[in-house]
Amino acid sequence: MRIGIIAMGRSGGYNLGQWISYELGYPYKHEPYLNGLDIEGENVIVKWLYTEWNEIHTKPEMDKWIGLWRENVRECAISHLKANELGEWRSPYTLTNEWINERESDINESETQIRIGNHSLKRIPQIESFITYEGIYNSGKDIQKVLKYLDIKAPKYLHLLDSSNRLRKDKRNKPKRLI
C-alpha cells in the first residue's frame, strides 16, 4: 500500500510518518521533493510538506491520503520560528516568555500564513482522512481514526506518539496514555 501524508510544517508529520512506517513495516520517505528522494515502490509511506506539495507538478499516485495540520496556530508559529532560528527541525528545544515576547510580531505574521495554509490544505482533493496534531498528541482521538483508516488492528508502536516525544520540552509535556 502506498500512503501519502500532506502536512503543515511543525504539525507532527515526521513522527506520524515514522509511526505508520513502523506499524506497517514500510519504508518512510520524508519530504521527497525537498530531499531528492525516490518514492517508487509498492509499499511506502511518503510525507510532503504542504508547501512542498504545491511545488510538485505531477502529483504521485497513492492508495491512501492523510492531511495533517495543527489547530493551535500560535503554538505552530512559535515552533516554526524556533526551529528556523536554530536551523534544527527535529531537535528538542525550550522557550522562555522573554523569547516569545521579543518575537511577538513575527509570531503574529506566521500565524496568518499558517491559517491560510491550513485552509488550503483542507481543500486538497486527494486527501481522504484529515487529522490534527492535537488529535494525535493531546487527545489521542485521531490515532483511532488513523488505525481504522489504514486497517491497523494491533498497533505495537503507539509509544512513538506519546506526548513526551514532543520537541518542545517544558512542564506541559508529561507522558500520558493516549488511547
Residue pLDDT tens, the chain, 179 long = 999 999 998 999 999 999 999 999 999 999 998 889 999 989 999 999 998 998 888 899 999 999 999 999 999 999 999 999 988 887 778 899 999 999 999 999 999 999 999 999 999 999 999 999 999 988 999 999 999 999 999 999 999 998 666 665 565 544 444 44
Q: Is 39 part of a structural domain of the chain?
A: yes
Q: CB within 8 A of 63, min separation 6: which ones?
A: 1, 2, 3
CA 127 from centroid of its chain's CA atoms: 14
171 part of a folded domain: no
Considering the domain boundaries, does residue 172 fall inside one?
no
Collapsing DSSP to helix, strand or coil, 64 comes out as: strand
Into how many domains does the chain fold? 1
- Residue 94's pLDDT is 87
Residue 81 in domain:
no
Residue 114 counted as domain residue: no
Containing structural domain, residue 151: 2-71+125-165
